[in-house]
Amino acid sequence: MTPASRRLVEIVLTIAAPLLLIASWEALSRSGTIDRRLWPPPSTLWGTTVELLRDGSLLTDVRVSLGRILVGFVLGAVPAIMFGLAMGLFWPVRAFLMPIATVIYAIPKIAIAPLVLIVFGTGETSKYVVVGLSIFFLVLLNTMAGVLAIDRSYRDVARNFGAGPLDLFLSVALPGALPSIFTGLRLGLGFALVVIVGTEFIDADQGIGRFIYQSYSILAINKMFVGLLVTGLMGWLLNAAIGVLERLVIPWKVAG
Amino acid sequence: MGRPIAGSLGPVQGLSLAPARPLSPVRRRAPGASVNVVDVGRRFEGATGPVDAIAHVHLSVAPGEFCVIVGPSGCGKTTLLRIVAGLEAATSGRVDVSGDAGRPRNAMVFQGRSVFPWLTVRQNVGYGLKLRGVPRRERERRADALLATVGLARFARSYPHQLSEGMRQRVAIARALAVDPDLLLMDEPFGALDEQTRLLLQEELLRIWENTGTTVLFVTHSIDEAMVLADRIVVMGAQPGTVKAVLPVPFSRPRALTDVRSDAAFAPLFAQIWGMLREEVLASRADIRQVRA
């Protein structure tokens, strides 16, 4: 098989899977093989989507949730990178912070959400804090691991040219750990979406999580499906955005 | 002396560490540093008690000399080089490096991966200058001139992963030369290269060194490489690492690799050095057998 024809088959297969899924769902639902009330035909979801887009409430919910994720992301990631670099470079810092970091890292962050809501109230601050927390430890530990994996010879080169601690920080540890930092950021964004939807279930008057939960409480199955689809698209969008950022920040990364 | 080198630069402004000193990419006015290693030892605390990597090492290198240390693996030659570089401390003895105007400056070319993958070729060469506060435009001018001398002018904007191993070692050499060192330390810089690339780089190194007059302390396990490059060869023995012999190399300068190899003195000198190293290698093998038994 030539590369070109292989590519063509690849594209056809990629498109075939979702089409097949939607078509069989549609057929099974219309024929009554599966319960129409629980599995409405996908064709009817289109109408619901258009309706929701027209009155603007869905887009507002998406914007609110994305805003919470982005603010929380920056709040969590920036200090995580700084502390992670310090933990990677200096063993006393590592010894001091490691036990706390590993234990809190292991707690599912959605389980911390109720506590955060009590401490920070029901406003936006608590949403930022929950997202920030869910990202912080992931990025922290990935950054540290990234620094530790940097070949020792690079530090020797820097020291041989007279690098001080700050030079080591900025010219060796940070760039050397960047690929690993981005692994943390990418995973962190995924968790952030999970956590913000969960938190909005518990308490929010806006956001995609609230949208899905409200649809559930009034048994608006169509709206729920639209909410799920939109959440999936948001995850895809965030992942694509971090990919673009990564290529900008790490132009030297070997592709693949 | 060698080929003339293009791209000679005028004095550098704003180089705070050496205000009065011209920085040309290759031709220097200042003589290289002299190195005095006096009774140096380095002891590590091993699991089964203290281990001396090197002990009672004496060595002196004259300004502008190309001195090559050759020895079996594990003889502590890299440790000695790192001590001279100031990257490791000796546990006994002392090292004096006297340089230009009392400001000894060394630059080391490391074994294996040492070119920063996150910097372009030009940024890599300018790295040492950046740490010394040289302004960007001056750094780039100097980096480009050095890249021209090592034949990498076209690759200034490339990243190291786009280059071959031999090209990356050229970048490492250019980076070390960029700070105009009084002492160039080289730790098996060509060890990971294929033979033909190694021969080319040996020729290039000789050409550049003959134009700079800097002192070179070069570590290798290759007898052949030592003979081709050195003014004097320091033969080291292992367990603990000590200087077994210091041999002058008779070949004239400037040197062509082919002339050196066809010289009548080549084979006897090779045999003499191998004779000394052979005992060392066999001794260390015997040790390994004993440990295993």
Over the stretch B102-156, which tens digit does the pLDDT of each residue have? 455 888 999 888 999 999 999 999 999 998 888 999 899 999 988 988 888 899 8
Residue of chain B whose Cα is closest to the Cα of A153: B114
Over the stretch B21-41, which tens digit does the pLDDT of each residue have? 344 445 555 678 888 888 888
Residue position matching structure tokens 């001279």: B84
Chain B closest CA to A165's CA: distance in Å?
12
Q: Where are the domains of chain A?
A: 55-249
Is the model's pLDDT at B16 over the cut of 50?
Answer: no
Ordered strands of the B242-248 beta sheet:
B106-109, B183-187, B215-220, B66-70, B232-237, B242-248
Identify the DSSP state of A51: H
Is the model's pLDDT at B288 over the cut of 80?
Answer: no
For B173-199, what is the mean pLDDT? 88
pLDDT, position B24: 46
Is the model's pLDDT at B273 over the cut of 50?
Answer: yes
Q: How many angstroms separate the Cα of B266 from the Cα of each of B36, B129, B200, B218, B224?
A: 28, 40, 20, 19, 9
Over the stretch A4-38, which tens digit does the pLDDT of each residue have? 888 899 999 989 998 999 999 999 988 988 888 88
Of the candidates A154, A161, A254, which has its C-beta nearest B128's C-beta?
A161
Ordered strands of the B49-61 beta sheet:
B49-61, B34-46, B92-98
Q: Is the peptide bond before B240 cis (omega within 30 degrees of 0)?
A: yes
Contact at CB, B108 and A171, closer than 8 angstroms: no
Among the four given CATH numbers 3.40.50.300, 3.90.1010.10, 1.10.390.10, 3.40.50.150, the one describing domain B34-105+181-292 = 3.40.50.300
pLDDT, position B102: 46
A119 touches chain B (CB under 8 A): no
Contact at CB, A175 and B116, closer than 8 angstroms: yes
Residue of chain A whose Cα is closest to the Cα of B83: A160
Q: Report the CATH number of the A55-249 domain.
A: 1.10.3720.10
Q: Where are the domains of chain B?
A: 34-105+181-292
Q: Cα dihedral sign for B10, B15, B16, B21?
A: negative
Contact at CB, A178 and B106, closer than 8 angstroms: no
ipTM of the complex: 0.79
Assign B7 a pLDDT band (cuts: 50, 70, 90). very low
Contact at CB, A159 and B87, closer than 8 angstroms: yes
Over the stretch B64-113, which tens digit does the pLDDT of each residue have? 899 999 988 878 888 889 998 888 888 888 888 886 554 558 889 998 88
Chain B closest CA to A117's CA: distance in Å?
42
Residue of chain A whose Cα is closest to the Cα of B179: A161
